[in-house]
Structure 1
Amino acid sequence: VEAMFKLRYKSALASRFDSKNNYGKRVAYVMLATELSVVMQREFTAKQVQDKVRST
């Protein structure tokens, strides 16, 4: 979870989540899931990441 939040709020991806259109946000979650998958060496989907961010 720590790695996910670092990527979400403290990386170059952070500004993409401020997009006013939903397409931009969906792309940001896909990119976040991809980066998290690389860091954690485990596959994550955009839906999993989005659900986790919203629940915490």
Structure 2
Amino acid sequence: MTRTSSTEEKWADRVRAWRESGESDEEFARSRGFAASTLRGWLSLLSRTERPRFKR
């Protein structure tokens, strides 16, 4: 899958907002008009692609 940095940034912002909201994935996604499975998918993808800030 090819994704643009703007798409990745948009979903990173959504995932961050969800994590900070305290809402369930279903509540958060439903209130914003997208599927909770998409939110969870991006969480998984972003978690795998984040680079460590510091090397040990």
- TM-score, normalization: structure 2? 0.46
- TM-score, normalization: structure 1? 0.46
Rg larger for? 2
